[in-house]
Amino acid sequence: MRLLAGLVTLLVAAFLLVPVLLSALAGVTANWFLGIAGGFTTRWIERVWELYAHTIALSAWIACCCLIATLLLGVPAAYALARSEGRWPRLVEELLTLPLAVPGLATALGLILLWGAVGNIRTHWGFVLIGHIVFTLPFMLRATLAAMRSTDLVTLEEAARACGAGFRQRFVGIVLPNARRGILAGSLMVVALSLGEFNTTLLLATPFTMTLPVGLADSYASMRLEIGSAFTLVFLLLVVPPMLLLQAVADRVAR
């Protein structure tokens, strides 16, 4: 039975990873149509860096800003919902997660209709950031809220209040430590989703506010296959290390 389970796991892993690995491999071959026999080269990676370096820095910056914004918005909102009871908090919770059920293109169109005429926001990276916050905030909210609901915050806070702790002391010393696993899980999802978000960003971005996924699509559509594949490799090299670091931090906190 263990052998069968291990075999199924390997097949699933191959199903998920082989296409990505082949795409990355094509980015370091001199000519993919000749295969590995054509030799290896780094010129396609250098070409990607020359053409799309600005998308790399912008994506990292937007992901960091998105994480900060979702922490500032999502954690207090989750706390308010965790402390509330009844039908209305549940309704508010469902409404806050509504963007997950709406196609990203529809969300982007709504943001354009709402904010598109405000100053020069259409050409500013902040417009893309707004779209990423709308898309990722429900994930931070859900993860944090689940962690807060898994502990009896009301009893813990009442005990701290009886000992003379003010709201700030209770929030920092009781609420946040008990919700840290959910906050870290939400942070991991927010960073990963922001770096890889494409549907909403496609309509919000301009040639000067292009992010990694949009640049990747552009390279596949207008460049050689090897350049698009090299972009995939660069994307993986930039995205995987932060994800592993955040996962390691989450595991350390859990232990």
Contacts of 171 (CB under 8 A, 6+ apart): 79
Q: For residue 211, how many other CB atoms are within 10 A of its CB?
A: 28
- What pLDDT, on the 0 to 100 scale, is given for residue 220? 78
User: Residue 40: beta bridge partners?
Assistant: 29
> Once rounded to an integer, what is the mean pLDDT over residues 17-25?
80
- What pLDDT, on the 0 to 100 scale, is given for residue 10? 86
- What pLDDT, on the 0 to 100 scale, is given for residue 217? 83
- Closest Cα partner for 214 from 224, 205, 222? 205
> Once rounded to an integer, what is the mean pLDDT over residues 29-49?
79
- What pLDDT, on the 0 to 100 scale, is given for residue 253? 64
SS3 237: helix
Would you list the domain boundaries of the chain? 1-41, 53-254
- What pLDDT, on the 0 to 100 scale, is given for residue 254? 63
Backbone region of residue 232 per phi and psi (left: phi > 0; alpha: psi in -120 to 50; beta: other values)? alpha
- What pLDDT, on the 0 to 100 scale, is given for residue 42? 82
Question: Which numeric CATH code is attached to 53-254?
Answer: 1.10.3720.10
- What pLDDT, on the 0 to 100 scale, is given for residue 194? 92
- What pLDDT, on the 0 to 100 scale, is given for residue 72? 94
Contacts of 107 (CB under 8 A, 6+ apart): 99, 131, 134, 135, 200
What would the pLDDT profile of 152-196 be if each residue is shown by its tens digit?
Answer: 777 777 777 777 777 777 787 888 888 888 888 898 889 889 988
What would the pLDDT profile of 101-146 be if each residue is shown by its tens digit?
Answer: 788 888 888 888 888 778 788 888 999 999 999 999 999 998 998 8
> Once rounded to an integer, what is the mean pLDDT over residues 209-220?
84
> Once rounded to an integer, what is the mean pLDDT over residues 197-203?
89
